């Protein structure tokens, strides 16, 4: 029986693509570089904001100094605008409420900087509803390293056999695999069916309500 669901944040719980794209494009424009269409950012996100800025830069400008400079401009802008357009996906609030009713705990594990992960979860959902909310920090490696999941499992009291990870990218699937828990790919996010299947997702779902059904049916 599943007792714990670990959610990715961006592309799984919330659609944050526009705010991320707007802030990176602002930094690029300020730096004299070409910007990108919002949809292109679907393949830039997933490995943290530093990697996001690296991928947005022209190929010949991806050196440490330039990435650091762009990331600083991005972070200052994003700090002011991270909730301008970011919102929960349709059906997520209902899913969380349903999980609460059947006694299933849930947590968030993101490669977004920890401070923004905490803020977004608290403002859009209420952090007290989550048994843990972890983002990227200096003392915690980014996904797909399993340490973030290991910390959540330890705090929740759930066994690996009682937990699953739900996310929209191969990073989330690989994190689950590295952690020894079930992986559920979410198609309402930023990436594709092929990416999730090729990464080895145990299940792939189209809507949040399908996750509840999987849990109720015992996977």
Asked if residue 103 and residue 64 are part of one domain, the reply reads no
Domain with 167 in it: what CATH number?
A: 3.40.50.1000
Domain with 41 in it: what CATH number?
A: 1.10.150.240
The string of pLDDT tens digits covering residues 90-125 is 999 999 999 999 999 999 999 999 999 999 999 999
Q: Are 95 and 214 in contact (CB under 8 A)?
A: no
DSSP, collapsed to helix, strand or coil, labels residue 15 as strand
Q: Taking each helix axis as running N to C, give the angle between helix 49-56 and helix 17-30, from 0 to 180 degrees, rounded to the nearest 10.
A: 50
Asked if residue 66 and residue 99 are part of one domain, the reply reads no
Angle at CA of residue 160, ends 158 and 189, nearest 5°: 95
Asked if residue 167 and residue 70 are part of one domain, the reply reads no
Asked if residue 130 and residue 161 are part of one domain, the reply reads yes
Token duo for residue 78: 């994003």
Answer with the one of 44, 60, 81 that is the final residue of a domain.
Answer: 81
Asked if residue 204 and residue 104 are part of one domain, the reply reads yes
Asked if residue 114 and residue 138 are part of one domain, the reply reads yes
Task: Output the pLDDT for position 6.
Answer: 98
In which residue ranges of the chain is pLDDT below 70? none
Task: Output the pLDDT for position 139.
Answer: 87
Asked if residue 96 and residue 68 are part of one domain, the reply reads no
Answer with the one of 57, 81, 105 that is the final residue of a domain.
Answer: 81
DSSP, collapsed to helix, strand or coil, labels residue 191 as coil
Token duo for residue 178: 């590295």
Residue 98 lies in domain: 4-15+87-216
Asked if residue 198 and residue 148 are part of one domain, the reply reads yes
The string of pLDDT tens digits covering residues 37-51 is 999 999 999 999 999
Give the Å distances, CA to CA, from 206 to 71, 156, 189, 193: 33, 27, 9, 10
Number of domains comprising the chain:
2
Task: Output the pLDDT for position 207.
Answer: 98
Which positions are annotated as active-site residues? 8
* DSSP code string of 80-116: HHTTSS-EEPTTHHHHHHHHHHTT-EEEEEEEEEHHH
Asked if residue 75 and residue 183 are part of one domain, the reply reads no
Asked if residue 98 and residue 200 are part of one domain, the reply reads yes
């Amino acid at each position: 029986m599943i007792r714990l669901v670990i959610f990715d944040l961006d592309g799984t719980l919330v659609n944050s693509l526009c705010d991320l794209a707007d802030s990176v494009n602002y930094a690029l424009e300020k730096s004299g570089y070409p910007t990108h269409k919002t949809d292109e950012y679907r393949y830039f996100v997933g490995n943290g904001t530093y990697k996001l800025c690296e991928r947005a830069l022209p190929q010949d400008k991806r050196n440490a100094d330039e990435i650091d400079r762009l990331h600083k401009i991005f972070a200052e802008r994003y700090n002011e605008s991270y909730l301008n357009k970011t919102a929960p996906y349709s059906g997520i609030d209902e899913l969380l409420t349903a999980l609460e009713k059947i006694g299933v705990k849930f947590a968030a594990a993101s490669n977004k900087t920890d401070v923004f992960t905490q803020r977004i979860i608290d403002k859009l959902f209420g952090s007290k509803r989550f048994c843990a909310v972890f983002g990227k920090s200096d003392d915690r490696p980014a996904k797909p390293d399993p340490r973030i999941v290991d910390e959540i499992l330890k705090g929740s009291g759930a066994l690996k056999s009682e937990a699953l990870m739900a996310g929209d990218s191969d990073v989330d699937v690989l994190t689950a695999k590295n952690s020894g828990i079930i992986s559920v790919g979410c198609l309402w996010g930023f990436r594709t069916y092929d990416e999730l299947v090729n990464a080895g997702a145990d299940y792939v779902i189209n809507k949040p309500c399908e996750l509840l059904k999987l849990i109720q049916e015992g996977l």
